[in-house]
Structure 1
Amino acid sequence: MLQLILIVFPFIAHSQVITRDSIPITLQQVWEKTLNNSKQIKVDHLKVAVGEEAIKDAKSKQLPAIGFNANYGKLANIPVFTNGILHDANFIPLEDHSIYGATLDAYFDIYNGHKLKTNIQKEVAKKELSHYIEEETTEAIHYQVAASYLKLQLYIELEKLVKQNIRQNEERLKQIEKLHKAGVVLKSDLLRAQLQLSKQKTALTTIVNDEQLAMQEINIFMGVPDEQVLKPIDPIDFKLDRVALSYDQYVENAISKSPLQKIEEQKVILSELNIKGLEADKLPRVGLFGDYNYSYPQIKLYPYSNAPYLLGVVGIKMSYDISSIYHDIHKDAAAKIQLEQQKIAQENVQDQLRKDVNRAYKRYQEDREKIEELELNIKQAAENYRILNQTYFNQLSLITDLLDADTQLLQAQYDLASAKISEQLHYYQLLKNTGNL
């Protein structure tokens, strides 16, 4: 992929960036600063903290529910229609129009179909889901940062190659100009050499802009000013300590460690707990209750009395929602369908992980093989250029052959730099897919 981009678009590097107060920095340092600055990671971290509080809240529901209420009001005289509502009423006078009371009540669940326990398990699963989402965000940002860092390294390497090629073209152009003045070469040779040099300078201008854009990406990741000039100091050659695993081992790690897989597992667990919660709604609820009332006037027990009274009641209470048997039929069916949907989604993620691991693994192996071949290609292209450069100035070859040899050498150098960067990028893809980045 990187090689294709190199062919289609001239890559870019900033010729002045590295010389103007640049800050040497490693990929590990960029990762550390990014993790401290990333707003998305901070958001996900806060979601985990919210989940922890939600678990505590669910557990607190196991404590008795205690309530208190009080009231005060004024009663009107009570009309009594002894002769029907179409006739005048007789009013019962009240000596005291005041009415007031206070109630303290409590309820403690003994059994509710394990609904409280299920709710706690659901909050734990939600918290774990938030935690794995945070892990996936961290892995994704790690990979994005690595891609930007490697891209900047590639641009800087290409800048060096293009600048070196420009210097060679300028020296060659001076020699051709001398030969043209002496009448040894044609005007067309001079024009071709000038056009080749102009193309390389245009490519270098593009490199300057692209390198600045790559630096801005990294600066934004780290939360520093966009203008900050960076100098990657990690070697472009892949010298990381790494354990060479087989494809099957990488797949096994992906299935067992990938945050994406763990996210889907938690979604399946939540769907199962949702069904369990619906089943709990169809079971009876048993609990202890208590009421302690202070009221005025005493109109609850006969004979009534214009006096305040206290009344306490304790006991055991059982309730059962019969209508839940038929009200929740479709809700139960939807929950079971959702569970099946989550299981299929989990299998789909596993399939995708296998594809991603296989693609990254094959590209990684391919890059490692390419590097050896490309190093040989550069030697051959350099020797070919040396021969044609010598024969051209001895009038034994054409300018087009020399310029083609120059382009082939530069392309071979491009391809080698691209393969080295691509090798690292695909290795980081393997780490991300296996939850180890």
Structure 2
Amino acid sequence: MNRLTKTVSFLFSFFLISLVINAQTTQKLSLTQVCQLAIENSKQLQLSRTETEAAQKAKQVTETLRTPSIDASLSASYIGNGSISNRLFSNWQSAEMPHFGNTFSLQASQVLFAGGAISGNIEKARLQEQEARLHYQQKELDICFLITGYYLDLSKLQNQREVLLQNISRTELLIKQIRSKEKEGMALSNDVTRHELMMQNLKLGLIEVDNSRNIINNQLALTLGLPAGTQIVPDSSALANDRNLINRETLMATAQHNLPELKTVALNKQIAAKEVTIARADYYPHLSLFAANEFNGPILIEVPTINKNFNYWYFGLGVKYNLASLYKNNRKVALANQSQRVAVSAEAVVMEQTAIALYNAYTNYTEAAEKVSVYETSLRLARENYDIIYNRYLNGLVLITEMLDASNTRLDAELAVVNARLRLSYCYYKLLRETGSRFY
């Protein structure tokens, strides 16, 4: 009976472990893979892609303005008998009419000149399509940078976890050594208590790090469309940054070449110029070429009616001019000119904001790089100090307070280096984002 109970308990435990393992799938993802998943699953980007496709369709519709227009009409009718009277509306007589009537008309026209309205609308539609694509690129950069922040936070917490685990392992070893010394009468029980207190603080810190890591991991997994319970393991290569790509002298030129925001305001200025052209087009006459064929029956303009079909064709050149534009179009042109001035001012504002953002991002990046160097030096000194104090403490040459101070100093230095390196990586990707450079 006991053997059966043990077997059932073992199988039940194995089943629970299997459920936990299946529920939490570990997946190692690079920053590029994370960004690609975010792009594929982003609702905002799906909407932006739809808007880009709509702008493309609108451009195609506008391009049809250059093609000829062809109209065709066909009708059949019943014609009643006619009546004839004199000029004083007396002496009415009935006129027999053919009762079936038919008409067929075919007309083609081609605009030859419209004051630049057609070409202006087509070019405007093309610019608006490019603008939609730039909006998509901007949203893609924003989403990937946001995801990069989560990814770096996850990597930072992972590194902090490793630091805490190493300190917990080191503290456990130290507690064992102190207890051995306590048995020999070379250490006080208070020494063990204080190190155990430090151990509890380390474990509490580990719990906080794990909880924060789980929260960010869950949020990132849902954003990427991964199954619930997926544990994302960051790739350490995301912490590397190529400083050769960072050149203060060429940052603005790189931004002008890559940054969607700057390209968008430049396009808006061109669109405003096309709107001025379109508004001025009403000042000019519209010239078109036309050709038509008419097939009608019977011939009703003759009395008696001629029950035959009459076909004729013609072509010519037509001119149309809206005289009201001479006094109505001035305000339309003035509005277009004002919109153009607004677009020019907007471009200047965005250029200024970009220059400020680049300066701030570059300053933060260089500061983060200097801090990494300082913190790495502090960590080296903290480890050397810890080793010295550790050996002295085991030999009874220093007090426990110095040992605890050395341990805390080393822990703080290790965590500071982790945070500084992640801060440097964040500033690096922030600077790339401000220049519009792809990093995924």
Task: Tell me which residue corresponds to 2:9.
Answer: none
Distance change in 2, residues 1:426/1:99 (3 Å)? same
Is the Cα contact below 8 Å between 2:31 and 2:238 reproduced in 1? no
Task: Tell me which residue corresponds to 1:70.
Answer: 74
Distance change in 2, residues 1:422/1:78 (3 Å)? farther
State the Cα distance separating 1:35 from its structure 2 match: 4.2
Is the Cα contact below 8 Å between 1:292 and 1:312 reproduced in 2? yes
Letter in 1 for 2:305: S
Is the Cα contact below 8 Å between 2:82 and 2:97 reproduced in 1? no
Is the Cα contact below 8 Å between 2:298 and 2:305 reproduced in 1? yes
Is the Cα contact below 8 Å between 1:27 and 1:234 reproduced in 2? no
State the Cα distance separating 1:42 from its structure 2 match: 4.8
- Kindly indicate whether residue 305 of structure 2 is the aligned counterpart of residue 305 of structure 1: yes
51-60 or 125-134, which deviates more: 51-60
Task: Tell me which residue corresponds to 1:3.
Answer: none
Task: Tell me which residue corresponds to 1:293.
Answer: 294
Aligned residues: 414
Task: Tell me which residue corresponds to 2:321.
Answer: 320
State the Cα distance separating 1:291 from its structure 2 match: 2.5
State the Cα distance separating 1:251 from its structure 2 match: 1.8
- Kindly indicate whether residue 80 of structure 2 is the aligned counterpart of residue 57 of structure 1: no
Task: Tell me which residue corresponds to 2:345.
Answer: 344
Q: Secondary structure at the match of 1:28?
A: helix
Is the Cα contact below 8 Å between 1:79 and 1:89 reproduced in 2? no
Q: Secondary structure at the match of 1:358?
A: helix
CA distance in 1 between partners of 2:246 and 2:157 (Å):
30
Q: Secondary structure at the match of 1:381?
A: helix
Is the Cα contact below 8 Å between 2:103 and 2:297 reproduced in 1? yes
CA distance in 2 between partners of 1:67 and 1:265 (Å):
40
Task: State the identity %.
Answer: 21
Is the Cα contact below 8 Å between 2:81 and 2:97 reproduced in 1? no
- Kindly indicate whether residue 243 of structure 2 is the aligned counterpart of residue 255 of structure 1: no
Distance change in 2, residues 1:35/1:83 (3 Å)? same
Task: Tell me which residue corresponds to 2:104.
Answer: 102
Is the Cα contact below 8 Å between 2:81 and 2:96 reproduced in 1? yes
Is the Cα contact below 8 Å between 1:236 and 1:420 reproduced in 2? no
Task: Tell me which residue corresponds to 1:112.
Answer: 114
423-432 or 211-220, which deviates more: 211-220
Task: Tell me which residue corresponds to 1:413.
Answer: 414
CA distance in 1 between partners of 2:384 and 2:152 (Å):
30
What's the TM-score, normalizing by structure 1? Answer: 0.81
Q: Which structure 2 residues correspond to residues 347-366 of structure 1 after superposition, within 5 A?
A: 347-366=348-367
The correspondence for 2:133, drawn from 128, 131, 134, is 131
CA distance in 2 between partners of 1:120 and 1:243 (Å):
43
State the Cα distance separating 1:162 from its structure 2 match: 1.3
Task: Tell me which residue corresponds to 1:153.
Answer: 155
Task: Tell me which residue corresponds to 2:8.
Answer: none
Q: Which structure 2 residues correspond to residues 172-191 of structure 1 after superposition, within 5 A?
A: 172-173=174-175, 185=188
Is the Cα contact below 8 Å between 1:357 and 1:433 reproduced in 2? yes
Letter in 2 for 1:25: L
325-334 or 341-350, which deviates more: 325-334
Is the Cα contact below 8 Å between 1:298 and 1:304 reproduced in 2? no
Is the Cα contact below 8 Å between 1:74 and 1:97 reproduced in 2? yes
Task: Tell me which residue corresponds to 1:24.
Answer: 28
Which deviations, in whole Å up to 9, do the C-alpha atoms of 1:303-339 show, x marking residues without a partner? 6735332232321111011112333333322222222
Task: Tell me which residue corresponds to 1:142.
Answer: 144
Is the Cα contact below 8 Å between 1:361 and 1:430 reproduced in 2? yes
Task: Tell me which residue corresponds to 1:211.
Answer: 213
Gaps of 5+ in 2: 1-19
Letter in 1 for 2:252: V
Letter in 2 for 1:70: L
CA distance in 2 between partners of 1:222 and 1:305 (Å):
79
State the Cα distance separating 1:252 from its structure 2 match: 2.1
Q: Secondary structure at the match of 1:225?
A: coil
CA distance in 1 between partners of 2:133 and 2:91 (Å):
71
Q: Secondary structure at the match of 2:66?
A: coil
Which deviations, in whole Å up to 9, do the C-alpha atoms of 1:130-189 show, x marking residues without a partner? 2222322332233233323222211110010112222334444566678889796476x6
Is the Cα contact below 8 Å between 1:388 and 1:397 reproduced in 2? no
CA distance in 2 between partners of 1:77 and 1:313 (Å):
31
State the superposition RMSD in angstroms. Answer: 3.6
Distance change in 2, residues 1:65/1:235 (3 Å)? closer
Task: Tell me which residue corresponds to 1:13.
Answer: none
What's the TM-score, normalizing by structure 2? Answer: 0.81
Distance change in 2, residues 1:81/1:270 (3 Å)? farther
Is the Cα contact below 8 Å between 1:173 and 1:190 reproduced in 2? yes
CA distance in 2 between partners of 1:205 and 1:328 (Å):
72
CA distance in 1 between partners of 2:39 and 2:413 (Å):
37
CA distance in 2 between partners of 1:366 and 1:89 (Å):
109
Distance change in 2, residues 1:318/1:379 (3 Å)? same
Is the Cα contact below 8 Å between 1:391 and 1:397 reproduced in 2? no
Distance change in 2, residues 1:167/1:323 (3 Å)? same
Gaps of 5+ in 1: 1-15
State the Cα distance separating 1:248 from its structure 2 match: 2.8
State the Cα distance separating 1:206 from its structure 2 match: 2.3
- Kindly indicate whether residue 370 of structure 2 is the aligned counterpart of residue 369 of structure 1: yes
Is the Cα contact below 8 Å between 2:84 and 2:95 reproduced in 1? no
Is the Cα contact below 8 Å between 1:64 and 1:109 reproduced in 2? yes
Q: Secondary structure at the match of 1:342?
A: helix
Letter in 1 for 2:67: L
Q: Secondary structure at the match of 1:322?
A: coil
State the Cα distance separating 1:121 from its structure 2 match: 0.9
Letter in 2 for 1:139: L
57-66 or 105-114, which deviates more: 57-66
404-413 or 339-348, which deviates more: 404-413
Letter in 2 for 1:423: L
The correspondence for 2:235, drawn from 233, 236, 241, is 233
Task: Tell me which residue corresponds to 1:8.
Answer: none
